[in-house]
Amino acid sequence: MKKARITCGVDIGARSIDIILFDGRKIIDSIVINTGAKPRERALSAYQNLLVKNGIRKNKLLKTVSTGYGRNHFTDADEAISEIACHAAGVAYYFPDAELVIDIGGQDSKVIGMLPGGKVVDFGMNDRCAAGTGRFIEMVSDILDIKIEDISKMSFRKVSGCEINSMCAVFAESEIVGLLQNDVPVEKLLKGVFVSVAKRVVSLMGKSFSSREIIFTGGVAMINGVAEALEQETESRITVPSNPQITGALGAAILAGKR
């Protein structure tokens, strides 16, 4: 009997674990959970629960591929693949002609240049500083005592942002506290933070990255204000997939079927 072509992609990131079951054409099911303090154990538990929920035994999977910063610690995977390749493959599933991807996660940000179909040709990455990542925005939301979910729903298109001069997240925190003490409106401050993040990401792009449309993925892509700031700084159309958080796991599942 021909073996089912169901594959699984497991993306273990700094802030979330995303898992996808894929049948070669469409997503069967997915799960997104917080990474927590024990990512290996949480990823394995979520993986097993997703299989049980869908009535699939592990030995019936064609292949499981892990990706993300914790990819080499997920021992149930058949192969570990770089998140760069996986994000490109996941984006190409939704946007076959995509040429440029910006992915902003909890602790890193990436710019990926690719050919139609998802082949990576170049990339830039910031994984050494919180500025330009979701962690920086989380820090600001804590200072302001506003939930990320509430910030995500807000639009800042008509707000003029204040200047955030510090390129280091640690110094920027002190600068933001100072701005609050000077009664700078919260909306103005948040817009300044989003523009600061956008500028940091754009600095990764260089001359080799250019496109009229940029696909924006990662958990931070769910924050409207960041997408608006990127559109402003890149002067390109920013498109966010319907579920931008799972493109890495989706790409891992797609590449599992191709290898």
Residue 3 has pLDDT above 70, yes or no: no
What number does CATH give the domain 7-90+246-258?
3.30.420.40
**Secondary structure (3-state) at 8:** strand
- The domain locations on the chain are 7-90+246-258, 97-240
Paired sense of beta strands 79-80 and 63-67, if any: parallel
For residues 135 and 140, give the distance between their C-alpha atoms in angstroms, rounded to a whole number. Answer: 9
Question: Sheet containing 63-67: which strands, arranged edge to edge?
Answer: 27-34, 16-22, 7-12, 63-67, 79-80
Q: What is the pLDDT of residues 155-204, one digit of tens each?
A: 787 778 787 876 676 777 788 888 888 888 888 989 989 998 998 888 88
Domains 7-90+246-258 and 97-240 share a fold: yes
The label of the residue with tokens 């204040």 reads 162
Q: pLDDT band for 207, please (50, 70, 90 cuts).
A: low
What amino acid is encoded at 167 in this protein?
M
To the question of domain 97-240 being in CATH 3.30.70.2740, the answer is: no
